Amino acid sequence: MTGAAGGLSSLLDGIDLVVFDKDGTLIDFQAMWAGWAIDIGRRLDVATGRPVAGDVFAAIGFDPTANRILPGGPLAVSTMPGIAETVAAVVRRWCPSVAAARRAVETAWFEPDPVALAQPLADLSDLFARLVESGRKIALATTDDRAPTEATLRALGLRERVSALACGDDGIGLKPDPAMVLALCAMLRTDPSRTAIVGDTPVDLAMGRAAGLGRVIGVLSGVGQRADLEPLADELLMSVGDLVSATD
């Protein structure tokens, strides 16, 4: 197969499986998580009666002044249970007892709406259709939990085109551990050398390198900056939309 077939970038020549990260790669990371971070901070201020938000933001890797998620912080790379534990550790330092801290976190805690806040970063229906029509398989590797990931894909009309998922609560390793993407290769019986990873953070790309994938592609649509991604990427794109050939 050739990358030009189906109007796809030549970056996908020799690739049978494309593994995408989710937040920051397929959907807008800021839209999903920045508002949530601010709301959690405010709710914890109220629940504790103390100004804990600033410490919470620093701990989870969120810059409220720039309204920006930091690429190496828990909000960008950790699971939801991991983020919750980070928040709980901060709140415990502010509360008079462990029980009071637990009550405050339980009162304030909520998760972002995986449907209402899912803003695609490109014409994903077109991209996924082209990939499938070209004979390639699609998988997702995300540190988000399976239930919200499934909900997002269904809402965007993409679930039927995705052959496999590896999620943060599946127990098969977390980025940059290559176990997650190698599990996807095994599930779909695809050699890692004929697999591409597409992601917006250094851990996405480091995972691909550690797994020996045939193509490691960074996108600048999420939290990773060019300087973070360039050393690890075979190619940097502005968005996944650039996987569709400009000449199509």
Listed residue (161, 206, 215) closest to 16, CA to CA: 215
pLDDT (0 to 100) of residue 4 = 41
Both tokens of residue 169? 């609560």
197 backbone dihedrals φ, ψ, rounded to 5°: -110, 140
pLDDT for 1 beyond 90 = no
Mean pLDDT in residue range 60-89: 94
pLDDT for 248 beyond 50 = no
Rg (CA), the chain: 19
For CA atoms 149, 23, 8, 190, give the dihedral sign.
negative
What residues are paired with 165 via a beta bridge? 140
DSSP annotation of 23 reads B
Q: Which residue has the tokens 């949530």?
A: 36
Report the distance separating Cα 41 and Cα 51, nearest Å. Answer: 9
Amino acid at the residue 131: L
What pTM was estimated for this model as a whole? 0.92
Could you tell me the residue ranges of all domains in the chain? 5-27+118-243, 30-108
For residue 171, count other CB atoms closer than 10 A to its CB: 8
Residue-wise pLDDT tens digits, 127-149: 999 999 999 999 999 999 999 99
Share of the chain above pLDDT 70, in %: 96
What residues are paired with 196 via a beta bridge? 18, 215
Listed residue (48, 42, 77, 47) closest to 60, CA to CA: 77
Pick the CATH number of 5-27+118-243 from 3.40.50.1000, 3.40.50.10470, 3.40.50.300, 3.30.450.20: 3.40.50.1000
Listed residue (219, 209, 155) closest to 178, CA to CA: 209
